[in-house]
Amino acid sequence: MRILVTAFDPFGGEGRNPAQLVLEALPPGLGGAALAKLLLPTAFHLSAQLLEEALANRLPDALLMLGQAGGRAGIAVEVVGINLADADIPGNLGQQPRDAPLVTGGPAAYFASLPVRALVASLRDAGLPASLSYSAGTFVCNQLIYRALHFIRLQNLPTRAGFIHLPYLPEQAAQKNPPAPSMALADQVKAVKAALTAIQTG
């Protein structure tokens, strides 16, 4: 089995992104799966274009996208991506769309095709706080979910896809006023490994 795992670089003035650090910590293989890694810019359009190219070239069996959601208290397994870009802050290339469709004339939403409830169960079994999330926001993360699932549908790819949001690292949370929820990097890596194992069996 081939699984493509993606993450974003730091954004919004942060010096690090837990998703990137988790991606870097993953081994080249886990269980019976070969893992391919792809670091994406936190930027509208370009991140989706790079991922679409990787999907077309690598044809993975599964796609697990990772992103940071500062302020969340646990791991969030996203259920849906919506056809809307509405950014409160600019992405790393300065783009800040407001009330704009991601795909003109596209469906209102796409649901993750990974077994999202099984992923949450695997994380909880590993002793980590996790839940389903029914909103991935309207920033670059949601854009990537929607565009990935749209591309998979258009190209009729066999790839199952989903997205996991990770909380702040403790050192990030310590800089917030008031301090925000956080999770140690080792636990975030443990969570993603548990999710990757569940993808193989789900």
Q: Where are the domains of the chain?
A: 2-201
pTM: 0.97
pLDDT of 50 > 80? The answer is yes
Query: Given 24, 45, 52, 141, which residue is catalytic?
Result: 141
Q: How confident is the model at residue 81 (pLDDT cuts 50, 70, 90)?
A: very high
Helix crossing, 140-155 with 46-58: angle to 10°?
40
- For 91-119, the pLDDT digits (tens) are 999 999 999 999 999 999 999 999 999 99
Rounded CA separation 7/9 (Å): 7
Tell me the percentage of the chain whose pLDDT exceeds 70: 100
Tell me what pLDDT residue 154 has. 97
For 194, the 3-state DSSP assignment is helix
- For 126-171, the pLDDT digits (tens) are 999 999 999 999 999 999 999 999 999 999 999 999 999 999 999 9
Query: Given 14, 24, 53, 78, which residue is catalytic?
Result: 78
Average predicted confidence (pLDDT) for the chain: 97
Gyration radius of the chain's alpha carbons: 16
Catalytic, 52? Answer: no
Q: Considering only CA atoms, which of 126, 7, 9, 118 is closest in space to residue 63?
A: 7
Tell me what pLDDT residue 202 has. 75
Q: How confident is the model at residue 44 (pLDDT cuts 50, 70, 90)?
A: very high
Tell me what pLDDT residue 179 has. 87
Tell me what pLDDT residue 54 has. 98
Going across the sheet that includes 33-40, the strands are: 29-30, 33-40, 2-8, 62-68, 160-166, 75-78, 130-133
Q: Considering only CA atoms, which of 168, 114, 184, 122 is closest in space to residue 145?
A: 114
Pairing of strands 33-40, 29-30: antiparallel
Tell me what pLDDT residue 109 has. 98
pLDDT of 55 > 90? The answer is yes
Q: Considering only CA atoms, which of 77, 76, 85 is closest in space to residue 138?
A: 85
Query: Given 14, 24, 165, 171, which residue is catalytic?
Result: 165
CATH class (in words) of the domain with range 2-201: alpha beta
Tell me what pLDDT residue 92 has. 96
188 CB-near residues (< 8 Å, 6+ apart): 18, 21, 22, 75, 166, 167, 169
**What average pLDDT score do residues 75-95 get?**
97
**What average pLDDT score do residues 22-29 get?**
98
Catalytic, 165? Answer: yes
